Structure 1
Amino acid sequence: MIQQGQALPNAVLSELTENGMQQHKTEALFANKKVVLFAVPGAFTPTCSEAHLPGYVVLADQLKDKGVDLIACVAVNDAFVMQAWGEAQNASELLMLGDGSASFTKALGLEMDTGDFGGIRSQRYAMIIDNGVVTTLNVETGGEFEVSKAETILAAL
């Protein structure tokens, strides 16, 4: 599993925009920026839709006031699902990124196998990234939802 102080692995994440499908290389996307990246097991799932993503939507301005250049949400879903979920959640201030093949999630060592529920998914986590290097990494254990909340990350900035 990736650790604090390590650089993010090189990977490609997808975003559906009004200009079509955008492929973001992580080394370019996170370079020279302070980024809050959080991951959810799946778009449109209960905790993710009722608490995790909405917390970042509500606190986006406060996170940016603390020097955050970019707030990104990633899930092992395709970019079409992530775009639709972002629209449904009024997440226009966030970058909604699909990791359809789970290649980024696996490179981080933060995948989990949910079996018939959804297969390979991301663990729930949040991290602060400074110029491509992880400075804070908060990974939830079990079914918890505490350390990856927007409020927890805001307090860590």
Structure 2
Amino acid sequence: MFPTTSLIIRGISAFTSRTARALHTSQLAMAPIKVGDNLPAADLFEDSPANKVNICELTAGKKVVLFAVPGAFTPGCSKTHLPGYVQNADKMKSEGVDEIVCISVNDPYVMAAWGAQHNTKGKIRMLADPSGQLRQGPGPRHNSAPLGGFRSKRFSMVINDSKVEQLNVEPDGTGLSCSLADKLKVKN
């Protein structure tokens, strides 16, 4: 039998053989998404963990407006950002948008409850990104300790057949200027 050594890695105890390879952990850094790029294949969730939605499959062959917020039920997101998209949903769809998607680093139940509070049904799909797969997409992630740590920067984009056609990232990551619904230019 091989001698073992106990290791503590990020609070998790692991046992390894002294003759085995050392455990190595790394975090893959996603390159920032820019206009002209295809979206990364990320699985998000709608309403519950059982309803997986692949963002590339959702946007394939469609024109989609996607916007991200730092957190559901937060003041700027609830008073201004999401309501602007709800109010402009019919106009955007009349201009050729097939889907409008809101994402946040929250769980799917929180996103569903937030969507219900703002009457998004039939207008905006509320997708949860609990592991933060897209939080680094358009730029560096936003660290907000009071909201639980790393969150998505606030951004909006127009996607045409899974390719980014327009991208608006808030300069400070959280402000409400360029990523609002009325700032998007949806081209037919």
TM-score between the two structures when normalised by the length of structure 1: 0.92
1:121 Cα deviation (Å)? 0.3
Between Structure 1 and Structure 2, how many residues are aligned?
Answer: 154
Q: Residue 56 of structure 1 corresponds to which residue in structure 2?
A: 85
- In structure 2, C-alpha distance between the alignment counterparts of 1:107 and 1:38, rounded to whole Å: 12
Letter of the aligned partner of 1:39 in structure 2? Answer: A
* 2:63 maps to 1:29: no
Q: Residue 38 of structure 1 corresponds to which residue in structure 2?
A: 67
Instruction: Decide which structure has greater helix share.
Output: 1
CA contact (8 A) 1:126 1:138 kept: yes
- The match for 2:124 among 94, 107, 112 is 94
- The match for 2:144 among 114, 138, 141 is 114
* 2:172 maps to 1:133: no
User: What runs of 5+ residues in structure 2 fail to find an aligned partner?
Assistant: 1-31
User: What runs of 5+ residues in structure 1 fail to find an aligned partner?
Assistant: none
CA contact (8 A) 1:72 1:94 kept: yes
- In structure 2, C-alpha distance between the alignment counterparts of 1:68 and 1:34, rounded to whole Å: 5
* 2:37 maps to 1:6: yes
- In structure 2, C-alpha distance between the alignment counterparts of 1:7 and 1:117, rounded to whole Å: 29
1:102–1:41 Cα change, 3 Å: same
- In structure 2, C-alpha distance between the alignment counterparts of 1:27 and 1:90, rounded to whole Å: 25
1:106 Cα deviation (Å)? 3.0
Higher radius of gyration, 1 or 2: 2
- In structure 1, C-alpha distance between the alignment counterparts of 2:157 and 2:140, rounded to whole Å: 12
Q: Any idea what SS the aligned residue of 1:58 has?
A: helix
Letter of the aligned partner of 1:81 in structure 2? Answer: V
Q: Residue 110 of structure 2 corresponds to which residue in structure 1?
A: 81
- In structure 2, C-alpha distance between the alignment counterparts of 1:116 and 1:60, rounded to whole Å: 31
Letter of the aligned partner of 2:82 in structure 1? Answer: L
Question: Which segment drifts farther, 136-145 or 61-70?
Answer: 136-145
TM-score between the two structures when normalised by the length of structure 2: 0.77
Letter of the aligned partner of 1:122 in structure 2? Answer: S
- In structure 2, C-alpha distance between the alignment counterparts of 1:138 and 1:16, rounded to whole Å: 27
